Chains A and B, each alone.
Chain A
């Protein structure tokens, strides 16, 4: 369904963030994209919906090549890709409901969106999604009154109300505590299963990734150096991605910490 062909991004400063990335994501598959900071994870998903324009290569979503599209066509295609951000990226001074409805902006005209006159079907869907993530009672609260976990739930609603085929998820748990991180990851994966969505999730926490996804892709210096099931992520592979480290020991202590949190 999504296909990347020789995707390359070179920034103006000369940094090569991505080089010849080939990747194929079938319908309904959730992928974890792991790798050290600066490996190009963030650039990769931003090249897919062209928040960052790739230097060369192709991005093909359901047969449409996104790389050559003009502004108007690109906006139409962006509706098919929901994005969830690291720091939630909610518009803090708008209400929760406005933030969710902003996911429909690609579908409604300017004047309707300006006067907040969204179609009733959008409003019902927004209520349904908020109810699904347990935030219906917060609909008219301003986004900056919410806690981190709640904000990320609103971010998920905003992405899902777009009725996307693909979710692009950028470090969804980076600013959350371990328990909330798991809840958010579980929610994203569940939502993808319910709606048969494909998703690419950038994540630096390998253990969290292994818990929830069927496929892991490892990125290092802009190249894919691992692509396989979570079980195949043996210490040798991790060393290749992240560099030398006593992986067994780290994994164990992290697990213990998480268990304690879960017990508490």
Chain B
């Protein structure tokens, strides 16, 4: 029996704590408890109102058992077509702009000044919520799908260019170098050395973004930027839960279909 063992026998054993500094651990714990108490205290829930609303909530849930596709069929159809159109166009334009921005935002390809500009564009696009951008575009360009289209294109750039740029930065250097060594021009180098490496990811991300754009297009209508959101908003205002349920079901089904398709395509690329 070793002396180290003799010391340990009979002593209690505790799992070493995740945060080793005891002071910090307690400070964090007490801080979170205080925060939670304050946060809950400031909630101001009107339980009487909530109780009243439960009946309406139940009606909403029941509406899903008999969604009403017919009474506002025209509005729903128009809204959906507009949403789809905005989704498709903004995704195409977004991709087309993201690719050069992504090239510019990849540190291993772009010179410093271009890198900074492109990174700036990306951060602005990511920091601003779609709805806020839509409000501004509606104020500037007027109501309608154009504002929605611009909003989604702008949001697509931030999303796609960031992820694509990261992918380019992670790519295999030796493959790209081999192409450069053949004496290829810059464009040829991108085309043969870089593009094949990032293409599968670009396609995967584009389909994913198509899915996101569709979901977002469903709310832009709330601020007047076109799409199914306006119809949805009206239905809510009139408490027409049957129509609401119908629209939500369509959205969910379309999203599921898109996810299924993107799964198939991604599997084929790999």
Contacts and interface: CB of A to CB of B under 8 A. Distances in A.
Please tell me whether chains A and B touch each other in their complex, using a CB distance cut-off of 8 A.
yes
Given A120-B10, A124-B10, A128-B9, A136 B2 contact: yes
A95 interface: yes
Interface in B3-28: 4-5, 8-10, 12-16
A120 B12 CA distance: 7
A196 interface: no
Contacts of B8: 127, 131, 136, 139
Interface in A78-114: 95, 97-98
| Chain B at the A interface: SS class | loop
Interface residues of B, number: 12
B37 interface: no
A123 interface: yes
Contacts of A116: 14-15
Contacts of B14: 116
A22 B116 CA distance: 73
Nearest to B5: A131
Nearest to B14: A116
Contacts of A97: 13, 15
| A98, A126, A127 interface centre (most CB from chain B within 10 Å) | A127
B264 interface: no
Contact of B4 (A120, A123, A124, A131): A131
A137 B12 CA distance: 16
5 contacts: A95-B15, A95-B16, A120-B12, A127-B5, A136-B4
7 nearest A-B pairs in the assembled complex, by CB-CB distance: A131-B5, A127-B8, A123-B13, A140-B16, A116-B15, A124-B9, A136-B4
Interface of B: 1-2, 4-5, 8-10, 12-16
